[in-house]
Amino acid sequence: MAQFVLTDAVLTVAAVDLSDHVKSVTLNYSSGETDDTAMGATALSRLGTLLDWSLDVEFMQDYASNEVDATLFSLVGTSVALTVKPTSAATSATNPEFQGNGILLTYPPLSGSVGELAMTSVNFAGNGALTRATS
């Protein structure tokens, strides 16, 4: 897979596939840092420390059973299994699946203005390692 247009991402939250309600998804992966600059140095030196990740998702709201609200409401503050991948095709080297446990930090169950599509934006903070599966 070369460049592509993101139109078919897959997201599961606590084994519930919510892909058909996802408007946008951003998986953030980062490292902390610590300064290890010694006396006499003329430039800063740094070491990477602990890895971190988070998942930001914008959903089109749905209050039906097994949909967005029914899945997310009771998860605030708890750690839950998450998976996300670029397309619905089989997991492969060109369509990796990212897996990890995340804590749902915020969930606004109702948000919007008159005449707008009901949306909700959530953030999961990584709770442990993020893995990348290719098979």
Residues 71-90: tens digit of each pLDDT: 999 999 999 999 999 999 99
Residues 111-129: tens digit of each pLDDT: 999 999 999 999 999 999 9
Enclosing H/E stretch for 68 = helix 68-72
Residues 40-52: tens digit of each pLDDT: 999 999 999 999 9
Domains and CATH numbers, the chain: 10-32+47-133 (2.40.30)
Cα separation, 14 vs 51, whole angstroms:
23
Statement: the pTM of the whole predicted model exceeds 0.85: yes
Q: Give the CA distances from residue 89 to residues 15, 17, 65, 128, in Å, rounded to whole numbers and listed in that order.
A: 17, 14, 26, 26
Query: How far is residue 99 CA from its own chain's centroid?
Result: 9
Q: Which of 54, 52, 60, 51 is nearest to 82 (CA)?
A: 54
Residue 1 scores a pLDDT above 70: no
Question: What would the two tokens of residue 18 be?
Answer: 């919510």
Residues 13-64: tens digit of each pLDDT: 999 999 999 999 999 999 999 999 999 999 999 999 999 999 999 999 999 9
Q: Residues 103, 125: contact at Cβ < 8 Å?
A: yes
Residue 105 scores a pLDDT above 80: yes
Length of the chain, in residues: 135
